[in-house]
């Protein structure tokens, strides 16, 4: 029975693990992912540069190191790869509603969706451009069925390169084949090895022994002897690849948020009614969350006018909660921002970013308030109110980080109140080691170069010019030497000597010289902060 019309796009990501490592660490050397198998370190994944050095997947690490001494190795993490593929499959829903992660790629059924992007060619070009921009180098193949697309993406010879940018030679997506009909399927599949049929390794080895190496060898053969010798699986796979029998994959869907509805028989417009509507929705949502044993961090209130227009408003919570009183308080001034216009017909509320929270209220009522009520912690309530007024991401807190680099020793983080209790000690403990020498109260996000005059190369400046203004220095303390993070920083980063300066008007500056004169480096002066 012939299969229905399908158009499958297979995106294979051969360098997925390496590109994840590159995103997290700014590594310069060739990368290899290592997996232990029977006590031997084996190469499980590679980056393109390691591949160019002659290293292949399945090689021993010792052999790989012999080929490429500066190989950087990381642990192979299949779970993280799968998680990445899942997110890529969700992202790929911009092209088609039917997508799924595969073991090393993403499958899309783009049948009927090509014209939305101006044809299959421009869809593929768009997809390749976006993926290459994010550093993933996909191998793409389209075919009328899943098995053929898989075979082409894994074993086909790349024919065409889609460039992310005309000049970048490295970042290009590889296009194997773009088959839209079954007519040329046989022609394209015939030269591929039999392993492209997704057979069991034992069957493949058996076929190799029998001299059947490529798919073209078995296409013309009689079916009965093949089944007798290699089992029914072979012919089923072959039929699937040639489109003679159905082959499917199960598409994933985005996890849907919890949702509660209110529909009105008559459109409502009065302010009290709108307030009541919000109140009811909040009550339903709190009950639903309670029932599902979940707590939310983001509520979305949507409403639809009689003319069909839908509006939405988000409320962010500083920590997961399902407390009705808290919801009501955050939604309290919402009814003012909803204009009734000609009336509201529908309204619904969705809960995003849910996390499990034990139903404390039922089991331990005396503890319930401790967890679920913001009143206990005035800080939490305050952050919630500020975030609901100023927008998500606008309210942050300064957090210390263990680093001697001044700009890296502090980060901005969203106020997460689950960690507040241990927080008070964090600054004091780290700052005790950090403030051995004084630190400025304001730090320039990017140090700015100044034109400084020092009497001797390793002396503090006596005068510097910053923003076309001359500062005459009367007092200097230092130097405090801070070296670059040699195990991670780029090669040309230099050691800094920090000086605390006071000018003749009494202003305090934190100025550093980058580069050591005694090493023959040409020193450059920068201003980095201001003292009180």
* Interface positions with other proteins (CB under 8 A): 378-379, 381-383, 385-386, 389-390, 393-400, 406, 409-410, 412, 415, 420, 423-424, 426-428, 431, 434-435, 438-446, 448, 455, 459-460, 462-463, 467, 469, 472-477, 502-509, 529-532
The answer to whether 137 and 175 are in contact (CB under 8 A) is: no
- For 465, the enclosing helix (H) or strand (E) is strand 461-466
Q: In the complex with other proteins, which residue's Cβ is closer, 38 or 468? A: 468
**Structure tokens given for 122:** 């421009």
Structure tokens at 282: 């909040």
Instruction: Tell me the C-alpha distance between 419 and 288, whole Å.
Output: 27
Closest distance to other proteins from the beta carbon of 406 (Å): 8
* Distance of alpha carbon 50 from alpha carbon 64, whole angstroms: 9
Minimum CB distance to other proteins, residue 427 (Å): 5
Ramachandran bin of 391, using left for φ above 0, alpha for ψ from -120 to 50, beta for the remaining angles: left
Residue 197 or 380 with smaller CB distance to other proteins = 380
Q: What is the largest CA-CA distance in the chain?
A: 99
Rounded Cα distance, 123 and 113, in Å: 9
Q: Output the smallest distance, CB 319 to other proteins, in A.
A: 15
Q: Cβ closer to other proteins: 508 or 523?
A: 508
Write 371-376 long-range contacts (CB < 8 A, 24+): 372/321, 372/322, 372/323, 372/326, 373/323, 373/325, 373/326, 374/321, 374/323, 374/325, 374/326, 374/329, 375/325
| Residue 184 or 389 with smaller CB distance to other proteins | 389
**Angstrom distance (rounded) from CA 226 to CA 218:** 8
Query: 319, 320, 317, 262: which is closest to 289 by C-alpha?
Result: 320
CB of 339 to other proteins, least distance (A): 20
426 and 400 Cβ atoms separated by less than 8 Å: yes
Measured CA to CA, the distance from residue 93 to residue 110 in angstroms comes to: 10
- CB nearer to other proteins: give 71 or 315: 315
Which among 431, 316, 323, 412 is positioned nearest to 375, based on CA atoms?
A: 323
Residue entry with tokens 């010792």: 62
Contact 19, 135 (CB under 8 A): yes
Looking at the Cβ atoms of 128 and 315, the one nearer to other proteins is: 315
Q: What is the smallest separation between the CB atom of 504 and other proteins, expressed in angstroms?
A: 5
Q: Which is nearer to other proteins, 254 or 505 (CB)?
A: 505
Of 266 and 518, which CB lies nearer to other proteins in the complex structure? 518
Question: Taking the complex as a whole, how short is the minimal distance between the CB of residue 195 and other proteins, in angstroms?
Answer: 54
* Least distance from other proteins to the Cβ atom of residue 133, Å: 24
Q: How far is the CB of 444 from other proteins (least distance, A)?
A: 4
**Closer of 201 and 378 to other proteins (Cβ):** 378
Give the shortest CB-367-to-other proteins separation in angstroms: 24
């Amino acid at each position: 029975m012939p299969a229905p019309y399908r158009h499958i796009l297979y995106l294979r990501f051969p360098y997925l693990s390496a590109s994840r490592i590159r995103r997290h660490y700014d590594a310069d050397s060739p990368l290899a992912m290592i997996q232990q198998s029977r006590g031997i370190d084996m190469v499980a994944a590679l980056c393109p540069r390691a591949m160019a050095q002659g290293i292949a997947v399945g090689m021993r690490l010792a052999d790989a190191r012999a080929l490429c001494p500066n190989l950087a190795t990381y642990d192979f993490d299949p779970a993280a790869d799968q998680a990445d593929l899942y997110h890529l499959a969700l992202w790929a829903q911009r092209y088609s509603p039917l997508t799924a992660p595969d073991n090393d790629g993403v499958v899309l059924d783009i049948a009927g969706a090509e014209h939305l992007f101006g044809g299959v060619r421009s869809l593929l070009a768009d997809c390749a451009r976006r993926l290459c921009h994010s550093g993933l180098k996909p191998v793409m193949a389209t075919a009328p069925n899943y098995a053929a697309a898989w075979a082409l993406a894994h074993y086909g010879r790349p024919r065409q390169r889609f460039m992310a940018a005309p000049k970048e030679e490295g970042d290009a997506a590889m296009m194997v084949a773009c088959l839209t009909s079954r007519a040329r399927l046989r022609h394209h599949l015939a030269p591929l090895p039999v392993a492209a049929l997704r057979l069991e390794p034992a069957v493949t080895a058996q076929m190799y022994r029998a001299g059947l190496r490529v798919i073209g060898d078995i296409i013309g053969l009689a079916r009965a002897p093949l089944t007798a010798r290699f089992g029914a699986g072979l012919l089923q796979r072959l039929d699937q690849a040639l489109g003679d029998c159905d082959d499917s994959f199960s598409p994933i869907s985005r996890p849907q948020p919890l949702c509660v509805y209110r529909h009105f028989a008559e459109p409502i417009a009065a302010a009290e009614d709108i307030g009541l509507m919000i109140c009811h929705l909040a009550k339903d949502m709190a009950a639903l969350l309670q029932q599902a044993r979940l707590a939310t961090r983001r509520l979305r209130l949507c409403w639809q006018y009689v003319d069909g227009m839908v509006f939405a408003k988000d409320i962010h919570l500083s920590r997961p909660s399902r407390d009705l009183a808290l919801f009501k308080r955050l939604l309290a001034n919402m009814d003012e921002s909803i204009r009734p216009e000609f009336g509201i017909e529908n309204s619904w509320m969705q809960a995003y970013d849910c996390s499990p929270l034990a139903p404390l209220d039922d089991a331990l009522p005396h503890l319930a308030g401790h967890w679920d009520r913001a009143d206990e912690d005035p800080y939490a309530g305050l952050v919630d109110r500020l975030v609901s007024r100023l927008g998500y991401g606008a309210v942050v807190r300064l957090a210390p980080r263990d680093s001697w680099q001044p700009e890296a020793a502090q980060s901005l983080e969203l106020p997460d109140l689950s960690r507040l209790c241990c927080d008070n000690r964090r600054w004091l403990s780290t700052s005790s080691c950090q403030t051995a020498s004084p630190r400025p109260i304001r730090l320039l996000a990017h140090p700015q170069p100044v034109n400084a005059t020092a009497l001797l190369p390793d002396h503090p400046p006596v005068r510097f010019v910053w923003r076309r203004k001359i500062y005459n220095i009367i007092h200097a303390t230092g130097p405090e030497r801070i070296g670059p993070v040699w195990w991670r920083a780029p090669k040309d980063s230099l050691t800094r000597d920090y000086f605390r300066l006071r000018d003749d008007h009494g202003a305090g500056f934190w100025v550093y010289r980058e580069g050591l004169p005694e090493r023959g480096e040409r020193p450059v002066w920068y201003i980095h902060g201001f003292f009180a």
